[in-house]
Amino acid sequence: MILAFVCNPEINGLDSQEILEGFYCKIFISKCGPALWIACWSEGKEQEKAMEQAWEHLRTLENELKGKKFFGGESIGFVDIVANAIAFWFGVFEEVVGITLLDEEKFPTLCGWIEQFLSCDVVKECLPPRNELLMFFQARKEAISSSAFKSMVY
């Protein structure tokens, strides 16, 4: 379906770049984000399955970034903003739960993008302090681990 839109950019008045941006945002929002979330907050076989799914979606994003500084090219674009959860938030989750989803060996381009993205002044101004997020999510993890509400995490 996406190929039909890319090959016919006049559909809905969007150009092919806008259509591709929408495609990659949809991958992140509907596929990658949920898989990353479940991989961070589940256990056992469910976590293993979610990690495999997350890696598959991260590979798609990794391939899209090859040869580019940002998803938007030389400057931050819409996909970069949507994918900020990968750059900032999921690093916090990984630390809290003690897993590694994104490493330079598997995803060198994506890790390079994270470094570039987080070093931008405009991005730094918009993100909350990392240490406060760590404390917040560590407290949530402890509360969830010791409660009957564990299944509500995902």
Kindly report the CATH class assigned to 15-146: mainly alpha
- Ordered by start, the domain boundaries in the chain are 15-146
Question: pTM of the entire structure?
Answer: 0.78
Side-chain-facing half-sphere of 130: CA atoms under 13 Å: 13
All residue ranges of the chain with pLDDT < 70 are 1-15, 147-154
37-67 residue pLDDT tens: 888 888 899 999 999 999 998 998 899 898 9
Q: Which long-range contacts (CB under 8 A, 24 or more apart) does 138-145 make?
A: 138/96, 141/96, 141/97, 144/41
